[in-house]
Structure 1
């Protein structure tokens, strides 16, 4: 486990996800309140596929979503990380965060995203970061704005056969 630690903040440890995280990740990705921006809770197979996709991204990109562990409780409270993604036809390096609703409104999303932003700029030498956020997801928008990001454009993302409006936030090093 120790070798999989990527980052630390005063309250949090970030480590690579593993298949053993299935139960904790399911509690997050199968909660429709958490997943309202996706407009569905994930099935068991979608959770497994999501974890496997992150494992593949570690191998391909060297980064992806990481498990966010609260130091005081040693609980997996969410996921946050850096993701290669595209908006329209443009490739970007984005930041993403999804937290168990029991841990909302504690500043953990910002603390996590800020640590990932610093990691992207300092360690990975990425010069520009983006975040893809649904317009009505005001909590995520607030996190992005607190990170110093601003809206670059609005675009539609095809997801499960449906066009979903997104805002592309961005910031430079």
Structure 2
């Protein structure tokens, strides 16, 4: 199945080996990756790319690149991944943008496309966004995407306890909003 996720301004596409430098543009930016407490190494970028390629093959989705078709530039990534919180599996909408494209509407525009894809192309009962408690911009995107905070939990990553919120929207509420 060919991926056809687009708006008049954006197109989501699968990452490939040739997009490695685009991934490095934001994954290796400490400010973009502050929720992870570090900029990614070359090895971590490679693992991230391979993880997404595996997700495409295993599930039909993953984090996709975001291209601004008007500017003909890649501005970041957004997509769907399987995540586990407190022993429960969730389908998550995640996103990262190159810093120079923050606050221009790309995250919500792409996240809405991913929400629609999740509910119309999978049988998921709900989609979530898992957001570090200090990331107010991402919380605003989740709220604009129809999600509400459901729980607070702590992730343990890089030897650090990181409080997060699980924002969610269920299928019934999605159908009501359409």
Q: Same fold (TM over 0.5)?
A: yes
TM-score, length-scaled by structure 1:
0.95
Change (3 A) 1:158 1:4: farther
TM-score (norm 2): 0.92
Q: CA deviation at 1:162?
A: 2.5
Q: Deviations over 1:120-141 (max 9, x none)?
A: 1112232200110001100000
Check if 1:130 corresponds to 2:159. Answer: no
Per the TM alignment, residue 4 of structure 1 is displaced from its structure 2 partner at its CA by: 5.6
Gaps of 5+ in 2: 172-178
- Mark the runs of 5 or more structure 1 residues left unpaired by the alignment: none
Q: Distance in 2 between matches of 1:36 and 1:159?
A: 12
Once residues 6 and 49 of structure 1 are traced to their aligned partners in structure 2, the CA distance between those partners, rounded to angstroms, is 25
Give, in whole Å, the separation in 1 of the partners of 2:2 and 2:72: 15
Decide whether the 8 Å contact of 1:79 with 1:97 is kept in 2.
Answer: yes
Q: Which contiguous aligned blocks of 4+ residues in structure 1 show a shift greater than 2 angstroms?
A: 3-6, 160-163
8 Å CA contact 1:4, 1:16 repeated in 2: no
| Residue aligning to 2:43 | 45
Structure 2 residue 20 is the aligned partner of structure 1 residue 22? yes
> Counterpart in 1 of 2:52?
54
Greater shift, 37-46 or 116-125, is seen at 116-125
Preserved CA contact (<8 Å) 2:32 2:96:
yes
- 1:79-158 matched pairs, under 5 angstroms: 79-158=77-156
Name which of 161, 165, 168 aligns with 2:166.
168
CA-to-aligned-CA distance 1:79-138 (integer Å, 9 cap, x gap): 000111111211111100100011111101000000100111112232200110001100
Q: Is the CA contact 1:128–1:172 (under 8 Å) kept in the aligned structure 2?
A: yes
